[in-house]
Amino acid sequence: MRKIIAIIHYVIYLAGMFILLVMGSSKYDWMQEMDNTMTKLPKDSSGNIGLVMAILGLILVIMQAFRFKLTHSHVERKMIVVLTLLGSIIGLIICS
């Protein structure tokens, strides 16, 4: 049962990381990929996407901290630290 919970945890974490990578910091980035003639993208003045990405990043870090507390394996703890650092770096790069 613990292995199933660990696998589900990592699948959720990787899905969250995928969402961070795909969504990016601007909700209009996909428009430029579809039409290369667009040189100026619309401004996102609401800032909602940045807030949502920051909350998602915080949730991912909290998930990893919770998993770190529950596991007793040194190998898994090292992997959790690496994944958390990787997620934090990606989040900082995308949201800045």
Within a domain: 42: no
Q: Are 16 and 60 in contact (CB under 8 A)?
A: yes
pLDDT of residue 71: 87
Task: Provide the domain count of the chain.
Answer: 1
pLDDT tens-digit profile of 45-87?
A: 666 777 787 888 889 889 889 889 988 889 989 988 998 888 8
Domain that residue 9 falls in? 2-35+48-95
Q: Is residue 81 part of a domain?
A: yes
Residue 38 and residue 36: Cα distance in Å, rounded?
5
* pLDDT value of residue 93: 78
- Give pTM, 2 decimals: 0.70
Is residue 50 helix, strand or coil? helix
Residue 27: inside a domain:
yes
Residue 6 pLDDT greater than 70, yes or no:
yes
d(CA 14, CA 29): 22
Residue 41 lies in a domain: no
